[in-house]
Structure 1
């Protein structure tokens, strides 16, 4: 049961990563055939069942909220070309740089840090990815703090945890669970609640608003699972020039740069086609 629990976690993080990326052929196909909706509901409900049975690391109430959110996302999944085109337009308007989207998908944009702490954040994220044999694909332009990359990383760790439970590698399990706890405490858990609030304020309703709520519930449930309490970023981070205007010598510049792929010599670590738990 524990193995399948982590496979379901991996699938939910993977689906969330796909959902918050710019709609592409893979996501559109998943919408059209109903797989996105089906797999999302299947995994959320499976985790709720395991929580009720006492085999999961969270309370049944946490999983019930996750199921409610997943059901709300499923209700708003586009299914035909017109609805998918509308969702693509909404993505561009809300998150896309080409239309001046005001909702950021980057951790640093929710942080009160200076240029130094922002650089440290990116270095820490790269350190997490590199420690597990991951790096960004060649030509991938988004920074390491992009939401989709952080969600993909959590999916990777959850799937590796499932594998180590299968092989009964207790040392490896400890390493992976410690890494997941640290990543939630230092990164996703700190800014996803702020991201959800921003989406709530900027999106009247629909798929993206419900997906943001689902991610928030998933991260909160996993923080409880791994017994961490992330210190959420303050509601309103300072503007990039605020410290200059106030006479402070340090500025808050945003760097540009940097999805994840295996390093040379490593096995690919993506999760193709969101594997089924019984696979």
Structure 2
């Protein structure tokens, strides 16, 4: 089976499914690094009974995908969604299925959606190397502790992606801890959850639920609030501040739903985040992450027939 990509267009063939092993439980600092630099895994996992249903999982996937698209450098995929009047429409529709408060935040975003050219300068002033990166989109920026501990966190993130047969799309230079990578991964887990609920696969749901539990508790759930605060401070009442507000409500709902207790990062972590010798050419000043999620423009964004008795041949819903 060929690798799927965590970013970019989905290749033909099967969608990524959970392997029998996902990144091990417990703090990443406790993991041992394997010879290839990845963290060790443990098949003895928690099996949380995560509440939810097939339709809500699908809509949660779409919200995560649209957030990832929104936080990337504005380009053709974003413009296509805007031109089709699909970005804000789909966001409001899916957010409303999840939570009324989330829908209210999504509606606020619609007032700011314009075109990619207009938002490009706004994006560059926040995240682009062109103007010095006002807000870092990288997890390691916010994590406390010695640099080597955070290098191991990168390996842990890679372990999550690889466990679900995902790899970064060719040509993408961002590190694995970029906010768009994390959001798209949670979106893919949600889509997988929807499919597994459709076929009543309790074992698969346990694996996906465990991965989601760990990923939120050990990664995005720890630092999203600082990212949201910084975007809001630098963007005022702009598009990205509205997007960050939606992200904050979605993650709070996710944390409550999963019943996780992330250890929040401090306001001023003492860590040297950037080191060329460790991270190579891809660092804090990288460009956008190039997400191109499916189903955000035109009829392709329609909700699948959830009354269908079988999934598609490749295990996914038609969108």
Whole-angstrom distance in 2 between the partners of 1:214 and 1:253: 36
1:239 shift after superposition: 5.6
Q: Deviations over 1:184-203 (max 9, x none)?
A: 00111111101001111111
Q: Deviations over 1:120-179 (max 9, x none)?
A: 110000000000000112221100000000000000000001000111110000110111
Determine which of 95, 104, 110 is the counterpart of 2:127: 95
| 8 Å CA contact 2:126, 2:133 repeated in 1 | yes
1:2 partnered with 2:28: no
Is this contact kept in 2: 1:157–1:180, CA < 8 A?
A: yes
Summarize the alignment of residues 102-181 of structure 1 with structure 2, pairs less than 5 Å apart.
102-181=134-213
Q: What is the distance in 2 between the residues matched to 1:190 and 1:64?
A: 24
Query: 2:139, 2:177 within 8 Å by CA — same for their partners in 1?
Result: yes
Verify: 1:211 aligned to 2:243, yes or no. Answer: yes
Q: Could you tell me how far apart the structure 2 residues matched to 1:168 and 1:128 are?
A: 23
Relative contact order higher in (CA < 8 Å, ≥ 6 apart): 2
What secondary structure is seen at the aligned counterpart in 2 of 1:105? coil
Give the 3-state SS of the residue equivalent to 1:210 in structure 2. Answer: helix
Match of 2:255 among 215, 223, 236: 223
Which SS does the other structure have where 1:238 is aligned?
coil
More helix by proportion, 1 or 2? 1
Which residue of the other structure, out of 208, 221, 228, is the alignment partner of 1:196?
228
Secondary structure, aligned partner of 1:101? coil
Task: Quote the offset at 1:252 in angstroms.
Answer: 12
CA contact (8 A) 1:115 1:252 kept: no
Match of 1:33 among 72, 81, 84: 84
- 1:73 equivalent among 77, 98, 109: 109
CA distance in 2, matches of 1:252, 1:230: 29
Shift of the alpha carbon at 1:219?
1.1
Cα 1:119–1:260, aligned 2, differ >3 Å: closer, same or farther? farther
TM-score w.r.t. length of structure 2: 0.71
Partner in structure 2 of residue 246 of structure 1? none
TM norm structure 1: 0.81
